[in-house]
Amino acid sequence: MTTNQPVLHGLHHVTAVTAKAQANLDFYTKTLGMRLVKKTVNQDDVSAYHLFYADAIGSAGSDLTFFDWAQTRPVKIGAGTVSETGLRVLGGEASLEQWGKWFDQQKVAHSSIETLSDRPTLAFQDGEGQHLRLIAETGSATEVHPWHGSPVPISAAIVGLGSVSLTVDNVDATSNFLTDVLGFSNNESDSVLFETGPGGTGAQLRLHGSTQRGQDGAGGVHHVAWRVADSRELLDWQTHLESHGYRTSGQVERHYFKSLYFRIPGGILFEIATDGPGFAADGEDPEHLGEILALPPFLEPHRAAIEAGIKPLNYQPSTTSKS
């Protein structure tokens, strides 16, 4: 790590790809019990939805988002891809047992409970083969905002992102970039585990190697975003990355946050995003997030054309959950 190293504070969001927007919406809200906090469009491709699933208030670090690209090919997991996304759940191992039973009822493909980095976990897949893993909080979680529309007991609800797993063709090159440029620490007792900021669940990355090249697509992850507090920290990161010879997008205004994009060794797309201003920036009622198509101000004049170019989604949010 270099001196004056800026710090990433953990995961901000993970953006994946779906070819089946309605089925995706049903799965992540009705089966996983996450809240649809924003229904908008891809700002670079307004023919596609951008769906944001998160906790009850859309906290930074809780967002699992999807681009809706109906014609995209299926993902092929391999080198150059994000191979798994972890989601934090409350309630320890007992909650994973509840999830296993719920998945059986819903015919969701899943593994048995296993310990990973000293935490109980449960791997599963959505209907397009997206690789996901529930990671149980084993202590008292603080600052969590579970969504009361969850179909599982609120005591076992998903409350945020836990980790990401990357598969690369050159583990040493990516490992060196993570530690020397991004400031991650590598766990001495678990060589594939890297942590940033405060460490722990919500700030973890697992790194695996493969000689088989993967390809992005439906059922896979498009990019991983990491948290910074504000634009000043984002600018620090832009300066830091470019001083090490890495090209960046420069700061990009996403209305709900500001972003900086770059590719890491091996080709995976990373983003650094600010915590704010958050999903209330467009004036949407916090009690009714995700119920209408939300557009940033620069797209609002084109609303009629945008709405004409996308298929309506059927969404009936629930505000009650099992106790």
Cα–Cα distance, 269 to 263 (Å, whole number): 5
Q: Is 239 within 8 Å of 250 (Cβ atoms)? A: no
Edge-to-edge strands, sheet with 158-168: 114-116, 119-125, 131-136, 81-89, 158-168, 204-209, 193-195, 185-186
Position 1 scores a pLDDT of 46
In this structure, the number of other CB atoms found within 10 A of the CB of residue 60 comes to 25
pLDDT at 322: 56
How many helices (H) and strands (E) in the chain?
Answer: 5, 16
| Confidence (pLDDT) at 258 | 98
Distance, in Å, from the CA atom of 274 to the CA atom of 8, rounded to the nearest integer, reads: 10
Q: How far apart are alpha carbons 141 and 306 in whole angstroms?
A: 41
- Tell me, what's the pLDDT at 188? 86
Determine the pLDDT at residue 3.
56
Structure-block tokens of residue 281: 């920036």
CATH of the domain spanning 11-308, picked from 3.40.50.720, 3.10.180.10, 3.30.300.20, 3.40.50.970: 3.10.180.10
Look at residue 151 in the predicted model and tell me its pLDDT. Answer: 81
pLDDT for res 319: 57
CA distance 321 to 55: 14
Can you say how many angstroms the Cα of residue 228 is from the centroid of all Cα atoms in its chain?
15
Model pLDDT, residue 316: 83
Could you read off the pLDDT tens digit of each residue along the chain, which spans 323 residues?
445 799 999 999 999 999 999 999 999 999 999 999 999 999 999 999 999 999 999 999 999 999 999 999 999 999 999 999 999 999 999 999 999 999 999 999 999 999 998 899 999 999 999 999 999 987 666 689 999 888 888 899 999 999 999 999 999 999 999 999 999 999 888 999 999 999 999 999 999 999 999 999 999 999 999 999 999 999 999 999 999 999 999 999 999 999 999 999 999 999 999 999 999 898 899 999 999 999 999 999 999 999 999 999 999 876 555 54
Residues near 227 by beta carbon (within 8 Å), at least 6 away in sequence: 8, 9, 10, 11, 12, 60, 61, 197, 272, 273, 274, 275
pTM for the whole structure: 0.96
Domain ranges of the chain: 11-308
For residue 71, give Cα distances in angstroms to 20, 68, 214: 9, 9, 18
H or E element, residue 63:
strand 63-68
